[in-house]
Structure 1
């Protein structure tokens, strides 16, 4: 086994860091309102529910497995690096656009 965590394990570690079990989303929202923040929908950037995590984790893990199988992506940092270039895609061009954005350069 290597010294660095693999792609999927890194993603699980990130999910662990985003969990806010025992913290009230309603309390965080009330505190934001008290500070004068106004918003249509509210997120404190954390997940407060196991079901939310399960839903997102399923989608993310399938995507990362696809990245690994298709492009040989081994590190979550490689995916993070390209995430800023992702944008809402026209359904007709989705596959081509994703392929171009997520292409991992081959050595040499």
Structure 2
């Protein structure tokens, strides 16, 4: 067997089977993941400002408003585009991904706990 067929049978196939067997639970987890990722995306400017106020970035703690938001998001994104980082877009992606992963973990755990009680 090749690498891709091994990956399919070890990783992808069990996930596909779990989704087929539990479509309602899968929908709940996906919904929570999308909701928390969307909330994190909407909150990214505020999170960027908080990151700047906490001291991240070149002028961390000295900026306010949109400048603080921009600097904080750029710091979370690995720095400005000019310095080789991903800039504000990278910071927004980090914040959104962190929110989505948190939502998936919490909802997945909640589904697993309630499923074990049903069995």
State the structure with bigger RCO (CA 8 A, min sep 6), 1 or 2: 1
How high is the TM-score relative to the length of structure 2? 0.27
Rg: which structure is higher?
A: 2
How high is the TM-score relative to the length of structure 1? 0.28
In terms of fraction of residues, the more helix-rich structure is 2
